[in-house]
Structure 1
Amino acid sequence: MRAFATAAELAQLPGFPSSERRARETATRMQLPARPRAGRGGGFEYSVEALPPAARMEWAARFAGQQSQGAANDAITKSVQSVGENRVNGTRQGALVTGWRKDRQDAIARVLVLFQRFWQGFGGKATPALQAFCTQWAAGKIDVEPTLCAQFPTLSFSTLRAWHVGVQERGLVAITPREHVRKGMYAALAGEVGTAVLAMLVQQPHLSAQAIYEALQSSFKDLPSDRAFRRALAYWKEQNKQVYEAAINPDAWRNKYMSAAGSYSQGITRPNQKWEMDSTVGDIMLADGRRHHIVGVIDVFTRRRLFIVTRTSRANAIMSLIRLAIQRWGVPESIKTDNGADYVAQVLELALLGLAIAHPLCEPFSPHQKPHIERAIGSLMHQLFELLDGYIGHSVADRKGIEARKGFAERILKDKSFTVEMRLTPEQVQEQLNTFCDRMDAKPRSYLQDRTPLQMAAGHQLKTINERALDVLLAPAAYSGTRVIGKKGIDIGGFYNHASLGGMEGTSVQVKVDDTNLGRCWVFDLDGQFICEALDYEKLGLNSAEVAAERRAHQAKVIREQKRGLREAKKAFDTRAAVASINRARTEDAVANASNVVSIQRPSAEHTSATIASIVAADAPLVDQARVEAAQAGLAAFLAKPAEVRAMPETPQIRYARWLKLQERVQLSQALTADEGNWFEGYAQGAEWASMQRYFETFGLTADQVLAG
């Protein structure tokens, strides 16, 4: 069977006019594939495969005598199958259109549906039915929606027939309007002009279309009209929304468009398998006029979370939060953070290394690699901070709006007190954070199969760690963490006290603080041994009288024990004998050195003065030797008389000193008389003995010093 037919042959087929000229016009209107006809007369011949099914069936039947019936049936089957495939493919393509093309397609399809129903009642062949339908449509006798009638006021036979035949052969694509061949090809976006426009859009995205157009006018000629330029710019932005957002605002692009396929919690099967941490500046102004930082941690498996307030996001604050989370949840296997300076600080890295906690980092500028803590912080900002006093907005636009509302209210109310804000202290914000975390931990979540974070954590064995081992996560106080214990306590922005500090006044110690425990510090000696946990009672609002009394008592006990040790050392070593030995050795050395020195006699000169000369001139009489001897004898007789001794009153100090001397004899196993023994035991039971004991220890007195006067 021939694959192409002439116009004269088409005129003999169903669906074509009987005139050769009219058949040729119909073939052209149907856009049948054509090729030049070889032979006399020229002209064109048209592809049989593109003919309507009825025409192809007639064409195949006409050549049935030239081939076997089986071959004819195969050709007919192949032709019908080809039509079916074309219709399916065309319908698939037509179903994917959008916008005004989809609206136009739906309207034509509605007209064809109405024609099919009309044909069912009209009967007969398609051509008379098409003609009758068009006549009835023009007369307004077809029951149709007003909007559809307004869209197609009239229907021509050729148009309706083309739609009808086209849908049968090529599916919905036959009634789908074509795109404009130059769609999106605007002169304003072509060549150097387009390059300049894109450069300004990326470098200065805030510029308006008018500003860009005026800038182009100074550099380029023959620009399109302002209206055409605006239309081109709007079209480009609409068609390239994602890449434009990625170029001018990567964070917004990440939130809107970045692929979120998969899950970063995949493979997390147990609590503490993976934690995520991050920091942000709080969106509230506190009582000190500053915006504090919020440091957060979340357990990916259970979604438990903790937040702390700190003036800056430092490694110390991060370590304090890790310590708190370990005490509550257990030791994590890994903690994922970004690569900020505070999260890669050496002190933090060494602490995690010592605790055998892995520390994977996100790639630079990739916060999406720790999405759980990002979402947790976002929930905190929107669900809690927006309700707190001092809220200043999440962005510059939010803050400007808040300031504008305050200014408007002040102008309307004329009330200056309206602008006064009851701002919170860091301690109050921390209380709000703790309450928020407790509420979130008790809230069922759909992604946890409607269980709460607390329920997710229940039933799992947690790995704990000794509290003293966690001390490596404590931050040293300022000045390398070394402090001297003073009379009022340890001064680190307030006086921290504990009973154990009594007796250590003047001693240097190591002091570490925990940002999650305001008003507390941990005290260690210089060798790293733990001493106590000291408190700032004023900051915590506690009564310090009791601890002050305990510290004084502990100080007295320590000093008493230390003095006892000194006294025992004094008894074990004779200091006076040692001093006498030193003096004796020095004297012997001096004598030995003097024996080796020969004195050389030098001539002398008599010294004189005016006074000496006057005395010599007066020739004063010499003293009588007999009188001198008599005076010496009288003095010797006076000294030989016994001196009158007056008894001194016995004071409590003397009595206690006498008791100490008796105690020394008892310790040396020397016997006491009966009177001495009775007095020794009775005196130790009285109040004077206890009072004098404290007196002697306070002033460091000994019995010999008191008895010697």
Structure 2
Amino acid sequence: MSKQWYTPKELADLPGFPSTDRRTREKCIRENYLSRKKIVGKGNEYHIDSLPIETQAYIKAKQVEGSYDPIIVAAKSAIKKVEVKGVQCRQARIDLKSQGMALFMCLNETKQAKAKARERVINSFEQFIAPYIDVGNKAEGINAFVKGFNSDLILPDEDVRTHVKQAAERTLYRWSKAYSKQGIIGLSAQYKAVKQSKIDEQPCLGEFLLALVTSKPHMINQAKAVRGMAKIRADKYGWEIPSISSFKRWLIAYAEKHEVALAYTVNPTKYTDKYRPLFSTMYPQIDGPNQVWEFDSTPTDIELNVNGKLTRHSVVAVIDAYTHRVQLIVSPTSNSEAICLLLRKTLLEWGIPEEGAIMRTDNGSDYVSKRTTTIFNMLDLKISKAAAFSGWEKPFIERFFGTMSRVLMEKMPGYIGHSVNDRQQIEAMHNFAKRIGQGKKKVEAERLQLALTPVQLQQVLNDYLEFDYHHVEHDTLAKTPFELYAESGYQKRLITNPHVLDTLLNFIGTAKVTRGYIKAGGVKYTAPELMEVQWQRQQVRVFIDPNDIGRATLYPEDSWQEYVDAVNMDLVNKGISPVAFRERRKQTQKELATFRKTAKRLQEEFGINTLYADELAQKKAYRATLTHFEQTASHTNAAIHGLSNAVIQKQNQLSETELMAIERQREAMQMRRESQAVQESHIVRSDHEKAAMLTADSLNRELNETEQKWLRKYRLNNALQRNRLDKILKQAKQPHQQVK
């Protein structure tokens, strides 16, 4: 029989008791444990059943461990066999749980969070009931845990309670068993045996659905429509078409299981933003400034006031990959001119890049243009073009644009949103303001008044870089760009003469010397040296003088050792800036285009194309009644004379009645001709003449409803012609006024 009574000395330092005899004795007296006088010696001893549960569990475990009872020894042997068998199955369990973890990583975030919450409940449950199991009272431990958990005394954390609000004994048993066998995937609501659907039993039908949802991804949530399209091909392939709910379950399960693959196939942008694997370092080889520069352009997220109109410009920027310093300019568009201006600004501020430096650029036409690539090559800068639609290949400049938009652009007037959704919401706000009575013109005027000009935006962005962005600690660097550059000890390679860049960046291309001159930019340049044989038919680089388009510097394409200063005799010493020349040409073209539009509108308004017909009609009406006396003379034409005699002879043979009938016919024909002439004089050749005619008629008769409606509409749409019509009415009334 096992020992039942224990002294304070034996209980000291056991689980549930202090480490000293005196404090153990005080606790036994305070807790009023069942006691009796010691059989030998002084003091009391205490019964095991009255001691704390954890103390009882520890004592009983020690009794079993040191017992030589045949039953207990047999039990120990059985336990050891089970342990050996467990060790043998351990690797199998590890493999199964590893497979379960792989499946778990394919679940969506919601299901992962739910499984993790259940895992915390099971771990807490097992820890809680362990002492109860040790003392052989597992049922009481389970009941105590269920009661404590459902009362929010155990695991009150919100991340657990969101997914597991209550727990029952049977639920805990089921979760514990699944977790023990399969790991965390066993706690997922998805991980259960599901009867194979009729769609899965027909592989050809599954392939058809795969082709359909990848070709028309919007239909993945339209089970009824998908089923209808499958029925069209059912007879051809012998498919058994299940119910709409079966299609819905299959489509939902397929979308969850192949979420990444579907995104890669039908929505590359979503795949790049959410699923594409990330790598640690983009440029592991750099160890200082000016070794890698990233260039890119983006439209501004705000509208600017440009000559009284709201429009967007582009921000062309470059970032140093090591320090994350940024230079940028605001330009109407991202073109080679803007890139060259940015390059000039950056070279003057940061110096010439290191030998072998990489210039990572976008793949747009402005960055791959002949002018841009040639200038980079002449500066010995290695261009590395990012693949199209691959923003991750220039991560630093893309991240900067995102930061600039969130930190600065969203707070500025004229913000129109960084995404289509933002833009729609902002436009809806403006449209609502128009509807409630503020009026379109007033709203547009307010927006125009608040909008910045391009010059103001450039100054704001310069201040943002200098006083904000360069002094904000970056998460990946744990330092600011200013601190990184200061601590690098870098010595930049300065360009001593900035005017060299002015000429360099005005490179306009190559040309061939022909007959003593070259033609570049629409201008012919010549020089005495070009007349020499050695320059004939030679390909040269052409750089125009930034201050005088009449001058150009020519270098052989294969050498920088010699050059020729060429001039255009028509423009030399005129001091015409190339930029001003181009702007003046653009302005002239705009003025001519405006003039042409105005002229065309006026031509249509005044009926210029029908003017000739109006003129002829007026002349005909005016001159139809004019007569004059003609002087005649006899002729000697025998044929006419002979025919005249025959006619006269016939007239002499007609009776008086016949002659009168012929005369009446002649008079009738004359009247018809005169009436026709009058009618032709009143033919309406244009809307303007019709309006004038109706206005004049309104003085003599009442116009019908159709004529009145047409005349009112004409006066409303032709403001310039109203005065002309009013003048007709005024002139008609003047004689009556004089009579009075």
Q: Compute the TM-score of the two structures, normalised by the length of structure 1.
A: 0.50
Higher Rg of the two aligned structures: 1
- TM superposition score normalised by structure 2: 0.48
